[in-house]
Structure 1
Amino acid sequence: MDNNVKSENRVRPALLLSIFLILALGIRLYISWQDFVILFQKCVVDDAFFYLNIAKNISIGKGATFDGSILTNGFHPVYALLLVPLFLLFPDNPDLTFHLALTLCSVFNVMTGIIIFLIVKELAGEIAGLIASFLWLFNPYVILISLNGVEVSVATFFLSLCIYQFVRMRETNAFNTRGLTLLGILTALAILGRVDSVFMMISLTLFLFHAAYKEKKKLIPSLARPALFNLAAFSVLAPWFAWNLYHFGSIRQISGVTLPNVAHNMYLMKYETYLSLSLLKTELLNLKIWLESIVRFGGGFPFFVGVLLIFIWTSRDNFTQKMEELLSLLRKLNFTVLSSLLLISFYAFYFWGWFRPWYYLSVILTVTVNLGVFAGYVRKTISAPNPDPFMKPRHLIILLLILAVYFSYRGGRVWEKGLFPFQKQLYESAVWVNENTEKDTRIGAISSGVYGYITSRTTDLLGVVNHEAYRAMREKRIFSYMKEKRLDYLVDREDMVRFFSERFDGEGFMDKLTPVKRFGDKTSDVVVYKISY
């Protein structure tokens, strides 16, 4: 690495980073303590209440259950266990625990900004690290996605630690037992934070093998490093896997099974078969949405275009050489790109989970660190002819002010609309059901998170936290399951209820439902139904 880049003044970057962190945490805390109803439309997703209910039930001795009776593995354990102490401390204050959960998400998301600074600083200097951390800390999509109340803030924090550890090992060529063990532990924590972090584990395994093979030129000895890394990771993962195997006969989480099942059934209801060009069209559409969303959520596209144009202009006399230098630097992060490509391929081509913004946050992490390194290299090429190679403070301040204005504009527009405006009806209907149905009646719901949080009488019918419901869906007997659970009411969007009747019940059950309350006239609006058996 260029010694000039490493010798940048450390006082000012440390001060600026501290200011960034304080401001970023302040913004997140301000949002975290807004009114429940506002947050449920702006950033908090219905799935957050799966975690809150599960953590609450663990704290009172009912185990990992959403409804207090049906054991589930439809959650990621690190975040769920972090929430349990909140319910132990404040068992009778659900509003406080809700806001404290978002506070926890805020802290982890801001700490990720610190690790991003360290990653990019290691490769491109402190100024580049500051720019990258700013892109993360003040990107409005990162802020709102991280405050959705689910596990993603915790998972991306551990992912960032994985990236930092591997970058340091690569830079120093220190692939020793201690470093590989630490990398394995961090990767396991990332997977326990969110299971799709397994793509980082796959990527790291491949790159560890590749690095060893380049050095040793022999197959068997080259397997030692990835084997040690995987041994450390699986040692940490083993208790979670064992618990799942004992209770459910599989290490797969039910949420990761039922959601693609629903997505594929939606496709089959429309096209009837996979053996058609419609499948290719659907796959390409999912990929298109993913790529567009990455650009939108990444937040730094105008910044990237600006830096790219500056790079092209300043490198016009020796563009090929500069491009080779840039690519050589970015190759140090190629494992993050591979991990993100694997994740994108999984969601776009199989899971079809493009409509959940939190699925994108690990990819935004990859984009941010690569963009920071890119910006650092361009800054270096601009200042190379100058006796003083450092970006002058006023130039950095101007750049950050421009980014701040852009993020403020984007943030205002995103906040005005909210990430989940349609969830307003879920909340309104949950309150109505709680206040207008008999206290000894049972409620069934497809999007059941907020219903279960507001009234403990709720059964999840989507199968996200309910293996029984998933089996009933697969066997096309969901109405029989509703009867078995003695459900009195069914509440959800009308189109989803009809979809369940057509795809997950052999005879259909719409004729067994009587609407008792509508929250709109469109088929996408929520309806409360009385069930007749």
Structure 2
Amino acid sequence: METGRISGAGHGARRRRSAWVLPLLGANAALLLVLVLQPMPVMLGHFIYDDMFYYLRVAQHIAAGEGSTFDGTAPTNGYHPAWMAISALLALGLSGDGLVRALLLVGAALQIVQGAMLHRLLSRYTRPWVALSHTGFYLFNWRTISANLCGLETPLAVVTVLLVLSLLDRRQQCLGTPAQAAGLGALLGLCVLARMDLLLFSGLVLVWAWSTAILRDGAGAVRATALATVAGLVALAVIAPWIWASLSISGVPLPNSRVAVDLLATVQLDPNESGSLAADVKRQVAWALHLLPDLANFLGLWPSSGPSTMLSILPSVLAAAAVATILVATVRAGRSAPPIAILCVIFVVAHMGYYLIEHRMILRYVLPSLAGFVFLVGLAMERALTAPDAPRRRRRVMQRGLAVLFAVALVSGLDGWRKGHGATRYHAFHPLTLEAATWVSGAHPGAIVGAWNAGILSHFADAVVVNLDGVINDDALAAMQSRDIDAYIQSRGISLLVDVPGQISLNLGRFGGGGEAGPEVARFGREDGREVVVREAQPPS
């Protein structure tokens, strides 16, 4: 028997249920506004990501009519186009701290939209307190907040995924008419423009929609195929302008940043690489154990932020077990679960699996699938509450369990704030980079500065800042691939290198001729040993 939606007593009851979420959204909006109004060093030290300023710097060049470039010279396509479009529009009229806070406010507004959409999905299938509690758990979770306020494309990506899920859930027929199929295709194209890894989501949706149209809606295979083709072609038409622009800028259809990140992280599971497959698998397992504790923090299963030596295995196992339990329960529910629940299961497995196997499962990367996972958890709780053999005390036990999970998530969030763990675990370095930018502006105004973490420097230093990790610089990426980064540093006239000490020596060794940087001229540090240094650049030996 297929689960029916919670219908209430007509439109009035539904409106009252919707109104209950408004105070929750208002409180969350107030919290986000307080965070966005914090002093810049506080925001940098807790949730703004260095890469946010890659967007802002390129956006300023685009707004000034200077093209897609980070440093004014080298081209780049290393960004997600929809978020860059928003950044460039803001850069037309804003600059400095105002531009930073405006983009953060966009992220905050999109988080509120996420909460409203998640609540609406949940309230169609669960009782009011289940929908409210799960929405609140998501909205007030530090991992959600820090991912949405990091200044990158994550909040837009989550909203586009929830838009697609909401659209599919409201439709009686998955593909419906050609016009409806075209509308779905347009949304899927927007998903891809919001974040390129949602190509995976869009492909899964098209396959799911095609199969559902045949198996559930009774559409013939020919009609379902034709409608799915319409959706796919419209999605491609939406993406096509970006493909053309990317080819014009960098000669490739997808952002070069993904290639740079692979080079920096060396996570490709390719037996033909210099390292063995066994070594690559071992590296991926190490990354998983390093990052899965963040997922345990998000789920309220572990109170300490970040890995803690041998104990990092325990939160990783808890997080993996919790996700697997909910996914298996949803699959076993079969027709008693809403049709989009199976799509959510497939997406969670595919999306998280991609980052576990082929990349790094950083929480902001997988927040779109985690939003779908929260929906699945709410459905699982509703099934447990409505089971014929459910004891009367089950509701009370579940409410207390949710309260415990929220308390643990809150403790881990406070611990994360204390440690400088937000969208990344390296926020503590960001205020030091701000100090270095201020020093460069005073001691070497107008200098050409190179950095592997170049975002904050580019926004706050009175200097020409050149990105050296290739994420936002096609020329530097080519130099990395040819192991010639030291010659590139010399050719660009870079006089200073600013970064974490280990980053400078490591990357010169990995991607250069083995030379060292020049002497240190300034150092900025904390009592816990974190440091950012300024060194003179040295030509290749």
TM tier relative to shorter chain:
0.7 to 0.9
Q: Which residue of 2 aligns with 1:38?
A: 42
1:139 counterpart (123, 131, 141): 141
Alignment-derived partner of residue 154 in structure 2: 152
Distance of aligned partners of 1:426 and 1:3 in 2 relative to their CA distance in 1, 3 Å threshold: same
Partner amino acid, structure 1, of 2:132: L
Alpha-carbon shift at residue 321 of structure 1 (Å): 12
1:283 is aligned to 284
Contact 1:13 1:130 in 2 (8 A): no
Q: What amino acid sits opposite 2:419 in the alignment?
A: K
User: Do the aligned partners of residues 99 and 440 (structure 1) sit closer, same or farther apart at CA in structure 2, a change above 3 Å counting?
Assistant: closer
Partner of 1:49: 53
Change (3 A) 1:328 1:292: farther
Residues 267/214 of structure 1: CA separation in 2 closer, same or farther (3 Å cut): closer
**Contact 2:518 2:537 (C-alpha < 8 Å) held by counterparts:** yes
C-alpha change, 1:256 and 1:523, in structure 2 (3 Å) is: farther
Q: Which structure shows the bigger proportion of residues in helix conformation? A: 1
Aligned residue for 2:424? Answer: none
Say whether residues 1:350 and 2:358 are aligned partners: yes
Alignment partners' CA distance in 2, 1:131 and 1:156: 19
Q: Which ranges of structure 1 fall in alignment gaps of 5 or more residues?
A: 313-319
| 1:119, distance to aligned residue in structure 2 (A) | 1.7
For the residues of structure 2 that align with 1:90 and 1:503, how far apart are their CA atoms? 39
Counterpart residue identity of residue 434, structure 1: S
Q: Specify which of 56, 64, 77 is matched with residue 81 of structure 2.
A: 77
- Structure 2, gaps ≥5 residues long: 304-317, 422-426
The DSSP-based 3-state class of the residue aligned with 1:89 is: coil
* 1:32 shift after superposition: 0.9
Q: Distance in 2 between matches of 1:299 and 1:207?
A: 31
TM-aligned CA deviation for residue 405 of structure 1: 4.8
- Asked if 1 retains the 8 angstrom alpha-carbon contact of 2:63 and 2:89, the reply is yes
Structure 1 range deviating more: 19-28 or 409-418: 409-418
CA contact (8 A) 1:115 1:160 kept: yes
Is 1:525 aligned with 2:526? no
Indicate if the aligned counterparts of 2:168 and 2:340 stay in contact, CA closer than 8 A: no
Structure-2 separation of matches of 1:529 and 1:461: 15
> Residue 368 of structure 1 corresponds to which residue in structure 2?
374
1:5 alignment partner in structure 2: 6
SS in 2 for 1:45: coil
- TM-score of the pair, normalised by structure 2: 0.83
Q: Which amino acid in the other structure matches residue 346 of structure 2?
A: L
Change (3 A) 1:284 1:50: same
What pairs with 1:81-480 in structure 2 (closer than 5 Å)?
Answer: 81-91=85-95, 94-169=96-171, 171-173=172-174, 175-214=176-215, 221-264=223-266, 273-275=274-276, 277-299=278-300, 324-325=332-333, 328-329=336-337, 332-351=340-359, 353-354=360-361, 356-381=362-387, 405-419=407-421, 420-437=427-444, 439-455=445-461, 456-480=463-487
Q: Does the CA contact (< 8 Å) of 1:212 and 1:225 recur in 2?
A: no
Per-residue CA deviation, residues 440-471 of structure 1 (Å, 9 max, x unaligned), is 42100000000111124100001111000000
Q: Could you say which residue in structure 1 is the equivalent of 2:308?
A: none
CA distance in 2, matches of 1:341, 1:321: 14
Distance 2:105 2:124 in 1: 29
What is the one-letter code of the residue matched to 1:122? R
Selected match of 2:515 from 501, 509, 519: 509
Structure 2: how far apart are the matches of 1:404 and 1:349? 29
Q: Return the TM-score normalized by structure 1.
A: 0.85
1:417 Cα deviation (Å)?
2.0
Task: State the one-letter code of the partner of 1:281.
Answer: K
Q: How far apart are 1:380 and its partner, in Å?
A: 3.0
Return the letter of the residue paired with 2:341. Answer: L
SS of the equivalent of 2:387 reads: helix
Deviation for aligned residue 1:236: 0.7
Shift of 1:296: 2.3
Measure, in 1, the Cα distance between the counterparts of 2:57 and 2:260: 19
Distance in 2 (alpha carbons) for counterparts of 1:406 and 1:489: 44
Give yes or no for contact 1:73–1:465 (8 Å, CA) kept in 2. Answer: yes
Secondary structure at 1:519 match in 2: strand
Shift of 1:200: 0.8
Provide closer, same or farther for how the CA distance between residues 26 and 265 of structure 1 changes in structure 2, counting only shifts above 3 A: closer
Paired residue secondary structure (1:526): strand
Aligned partners of 1:300, 1:166: CA distance in 2, in Å?
31
Q: CA deviation digits over 1:414-438, x for unaligned, max 9?
A: 222222223232222222222222x
Q: Distance in 1 between matches of 2:530 and 2:269?
A: 18
Does structure 1 conserve the Cα–Cα contact (< 8 Å) formed by 2:169 and 2:340?
yes
TM-superposed CA distance for 1:290, in Å, is 5.0
Separation in 1 of the partners of 2:109 and 2:243? 28
- Partner Cα separation in structure 1 for residue 330 and residue 151 of structure 2: 43
Aligned partner of 1:95: which letter? D
Q: Matches of 1:213 and 1:290 in 2, distance apart?
A: 40
Identify if the C-alpha distance between structure 1 residues 482 and 323 changes in structure 2 by more than 3 Å, giving closer, same or farther: closer
Q: Per-residue deviation at 1:219?
A: 5.7
Instruction: Check 1:98–1:200 CA distance in 2 against 1; reply closer, same or farther (3 A cut).
Output: same
Stretch of structure 1 that moved more, 203-212 or 326-335 = 326-335
Amino acid at match of 1:468: D
The equivalent residue for 2:504 is: 497
User: How many percent identity over aligned positions?
Assistant: 22
Distance 1:261 1:296 in 2: 29
Amino acid at match of 1:198: L
Distance 1:127 1:178 in 2: 37
